[in-house]
Structures are given as C-alpha cells and as structure tokens.
Structure 1
Amino acid sequence: MSIHNLKPMSEVMTDLREKGYTDDFNYRDGELHNDSQKKVYQPKEITITEEYRFEGETNPEDSSILYTLETSAGEKGILTNSYGADSNVELEEFLDKANKKDHQVH
C-alpha cells in the first residue's frame, strides 16, 4: 500500500507535480486534451504510469481516481475521474485502450 492512500488528493497532486507531472489533461469529445500545450491525443499516444484511488472523507461514494500519464510527445501530467457509479464511462473506455506501464494502483 502506498502512503499516498493516506494523503488527500491535493497533496498527492503536489507531490506528483514536484516529480514532473505538470500538465493537466482533460477528456472531451472522445479525445485527451492538453490545453496548455494545445495538443490532442488518442489512446495509443498515451501511457498510464500510475493510478491513485481516493474515497471521500465524509461520503465513501464520493470516490475519485487520479491517473499519471505520459504522452508520445514526452509530456507528463495528471487526469482525474470519479469511479464507481459516478465514473465517466467514455473516459474509462478511452483509458482501457491506452498503453499501461507496469504500474501500481495506490
């Protein structure tokens, strides 16, 4: 188990930014967008390097997952999604097609 499970998502995000995961990715219209770089990616152009799962402090149904991603262009960043009943199913299907580095789920 990673110590990140004990930290709030905001602290994990800060730790990851210090490790070089500085870009924020967004999923829309069936593609992954890096708005700061004005680039768009398809599933095979990204690699999921780690996953972090969080449960809401007051409501266990308020659960999130944070992905660390690397692109074929060398960008490193993060992407978040709800998981469970509130997850974005289209995003999950997109990520299922992405490359996966031999990574841990924290």
Structure 2
Amino acid sequence: MIISDEFAKHESDFIKKYEKIGYTANYQVVDGRLVDLETKETFTPEDVKVVAEHRYEGMSNPSDMSILYVIETTSGSKGTFLTAYGPTADLEVAEFFKAIPESNVSESGNILNS
C-alpha cells in the first residue's frame, strides 16, 4: 500500500512507532540469510514472519521507492527492515523477502489496523 496518512509521510515515522511497541531489532541480509545486527543470530526465509509492510514513493521523485517490512522471527526477535524496491532494489534482499513463505506474510501487526 502507498502511504497517504498524514502522520506517516516518511519511513522514519513508522519505524519510530514500531520501535515504541517492541519492534527494535535491526537486520541485514547476508549470504541469503537475515542477520540480527545485535545478536548476530541468522534466519532463513522460513524463520521470518512479515506482520506488516509499508511502501513509499519519494515525495519529490516517485522513482525513489522503498518498503518497510515489520518482521518477527522464530526466536522472538522483532524489528523492521527498510529497503529500496523497484529499479534500485538490492537483489539479494529482494530475493530473501520473496522467498518468505506466503503463509508467513500477513498484516496482523500493522499499526494502521489497530
């Protein structure tokens, strides 16, 4: 979904709101696995649940596109992952999120639904 809500025109607005409710972990994709940057724990796509996602288009340049994934892992780690999508996407990151089983993707944690 493209965000049009007044309170969240920027990715950082949503990141701050999710951090307040416990989504504090930061991640990186390395060699096809999601890595918790604090604990160094690694996860396969099957270990990850996407509980919300928010897509953005750049305010001044619509080709500046990003997506914020709100994720939970099988170990209980919860956090966000912000990445570009479209022509500027990181292919390794895109492949990782594409490999997450559909059954692990929902909008159950979307703060816009509460």
What band does the TM-score fall into relative to the shorter chain?
A: 0.7 to 0.9
* Structure with greater helix percent: 2
8 Å CA contact 1:5–1:54 kept in 2: the answer is: no
SS in 2 for 1:25: strand
TM-score under structure 1 length normalisation? 0.87
CA distance in structure 2 between the aligned counterparts of 1:64 and 1:5, rounded to whole angstroms: 17
CA distance in structure 2 between the aligned counterparts of 1:90 and 1:58, rounded to whole angstroms: 27
CA distance in structure 2 between the aligned counterparts of 1:101 and 1:86, rounded to whole angstroms: 23
CA distance in structure 2 between the aligned counterparts of 1:28 and 1:4, rounded to whole angstroms: 35
What 5-or-longer segments of structure 1 have no aligned partner? Answer: none
CA distance in structure 2 between the aligned counterparts of 1:35 and 1:101, rounded to whole angstroms: 22
Task: Give runs of ≥4 in structure 1 deviating > 6 Å.
Answer: none
2:106 to 98, 102, 106: 102
What 5-or-longer segments of structure 2 have no aligned partner? Answer: none
- Count how many residue pairs are aligned between Structure 1 and Structure 2: 106
- RMSD over aligned CA atoms reads 2.3
CA distance in structure 2 between the aligned counterparts of 1:80 and 1:74, rounded to whole angstroms: 19
TM-score under structure 2 length normalisation? 0.81
Percent of aligned pairs sharing the same letter: 30
C-alpha change, 1:6 and 1:22, in structure 2 (3 Å) is closer
8 Å CA contact 2:7–2:13 kept in 1: the answer is: no
CA distance in structure 2 between the aligned counterparts of 1:5 and 1:39, rounded to whole angstroms: 33
CA distance in structure 1 between the aligned counterparts of 2:47 and 2:53, rounded to whole angstroms: 18
